[in-house]
A and B are shown apart, each in its own frame.
Chain A
Amino acid sequence: MKIVLATPLYPPEIMEPAPYSKEVAKRLSLENEVTIVAYAHLPETISGVRILTIEKHQPRFIRLFSYFVTLLRTAHAGDVIYAVNGISVELPVALVALVTRRPLVFYIGDMAAHERTKRDPILRLIESFAFSCAKKIVTEAPLARPEILPFEPHPEKAFEAYEASWNSHLRHLIHVFNHVI
């Protein structure tokens, strides 16, 4: 399957959904072809994953337009667009899904952005429009990676739970992707 991952945040950014975006791409790429479209300057690389970046250090409308154009070119070759919520992604990804008729799946991975959107009528309108273009909205989130602390025992159980949550999340995603394609 060819998956286009559209995300507003990507490492070296540290706030969610950046770590999620990298981890999901890494895991999906083991059995699929993954291309990431992200706002970033020099992104952390993943072996076997193509990362297309849109420079953040440019005015808002220019970067939104650049994102739209890059995503449009990429989505044509993809089977599904998997988008992480965030105002800088929602409008371009919805328009691209309409133009290319590629199935769009949203993941609400940035709860802070989602909450902010609820308080702003214009942002709420954009988010509602974007979500209405999606075939499915995923809200189930895997666990965050446990921290290994030098003076604490290795968190074995936490890692087991972490792996289990990711396995379940990936199964769910693949099921959704197969269903919408």
Chain B
Amino acid sequence: MSSDITKDTWDAYCAKELRVLGPILQKLGYVLDTEQPHITGERYLMEAATNGRKLILLGRRMKDGIRVVIKTTPDPEGMRGLEHERDCRRILQKINFAYQIFLSPEELLFVKKGKRLIAIQRFIEQESTFIARPLKEQFALSLKAFKAQEAAHATTYGHKRLISRTFGFMDGRDYLDNFDKFVKNIERELPEESQLQRLLKKAKSFLLDNRETIEKYNGFLTHTDFVPHNFRVKGHDIYLLDHSSLRFGNKYEGWARFVNWMALYNPPLAEALIAYVGLNRTPEESLSLKLMRIYRLGEIIWYYTSTLKKCSGNLHLLNQERVRLWTNVLEAVLNNTEVSMEILDDYRQKRDVLRGEDEKIRQKDLH
């Protein structure tokens, strides 16, 4: 299936998959939940951003009733994605320079049934969502997670050979080339957005001027989608749910994604993390965080720009608002300021009105 899937074709695909999967899973000793929040709402728009097509489903093991997460796909690219994720998980625990072990949910099954790959992991129950925890605890948990990622630094010839077989590796040039693509794509799709074009040009030139700083902090393990829906917290432990987004790149790429996300969902946490880097690390590292925030903002603006032609109605309006919001955040980062509460509140109000009911349900326990 192509990446320009519509909501209708995605729903039809999911319904067909669920019909086929039920009996297969039953034979394996698992049963699907009636409600499947992870395939509803805006999930279909994320197809282009994921490694092949796959469904993420919730279910239970029949013999003892434990909750499980089932990832499954008949798509060859999706299968490669699941196998890659599994490799990342295994290699991560083997590499001798990863001084700290990342916690992963227990794998219960990884099996090919006919032309379909099924991966089942234990569902990690958490006392409360990350975002519902006290601010101080959120800060401590996120800092612990970033320190654990940074502890793996691929510095020598041997390290680079070992990791390049499994994880991706981004150098300074790759970041600049990617950003250039974001800028060109956005220019092509939204030629009338002159303020955005101006900001993107300024951002590109800022990245180019500081390419050595981007390069300097490269070679660190970083989770490029480290946001609360990709990890769960149990006690004081953080379990990574998505290992396919791990790669070796700039030390602050994971931080940047998280801080940008928190700029909307929990600005005091974003500010605390930026302050921590400023107070405890070198000025070059604060600059590296800023550069990576700009890079990731270019990426997210392009992501929402690319969805505009795939959606209609309220979702189209919402994604236009998202392009505007992240443009405002980009402007704030470039000017070393914070995005105003008025802009954030205005976006949140519009989002809550425009967001579909099924997406509200999908979002409910995501963070």
Residues of A that sit less than 8 Å from B by CB: 11-15, 39, 41-42, 44, 56-60, 63, 145, 147-151
Contact = CB atoms under 8 A, between A and B. Distances in A.
Nearest to B251: A12
Interface string B261-296: 000000000001001100110101100000000000
Contacts of B15: none
Interface in B173-222: 212, 215-217, 219
Report whether over half of chain A's contact residues are helix, strand or loop; otherwise say mixed.
loop
B212 A42 contact: yes
A39 B159 CA distance: 14
Pick from B151, B215, B216 the residue with the most CB of A within 10 Å.
B216
Nearest to A154: B279
B151 A57 contact: no
Contacts of B279: 148, 150
Contact of B157 (A13, A14, A58, A145): A58
12 contacts: A41-B215, A42-B212, A42-B215, A42-B216, A44-B216, A56-B157, A57-B155, A63-B157, A145-B280, A149-B139, A150-B276, A150-B279
A60 B161 CA distance: 13
A60 B276 CA distance: 36
B272 A150 contact: yes
Contacts of B285: 12
10 shortest interchain CB distances as A-B pairs: A42-B216, A150-B272, A148-B279, A151-B136, A56-B156, A56-B155, A150-B275, A12-B217, A57-B157, A59-B157
Nearest to A58: B157
B231 to A, nearest CB: 21
A44 B160 CA distance: 21
Contacts of B251: 12
Q: Which of A12, A42, A59, A63 counts the most chain B CB atoms within 10 A?
A: A12
B153 A13 contact: yes
B135 interface: yes
Given A12-B217, A15-B151, A42-B212, A60 B275 contact: no
B253 interface: no
A13 B219 CA distance: 10
B158 interface: yes
B302 to A, nearest CB: 28
A13 B155 contact: yes
A147 B136 contact: no
Nearest to A40: B155
Contacts of B157: 56-60, 63
A149 B276 CA distance: 6
B34 to A, nearest CB: 42
B359 to A, nearest CB: 33
A44 B215 CA distance: 12
A34 B267 CA distance: 43
B282 A11 contact: yes
A148 B158 CA distance: 35
A14 B153 contact: yes
Given A12-B217, A44-B216, A151 B135 contact: yes
A150 B136 CA distance: 9
B99 interface: yes
Contacts of B151: 14-15
Interface in B114-165: 135-136, 139, 150-151, 153, 155-158, 160
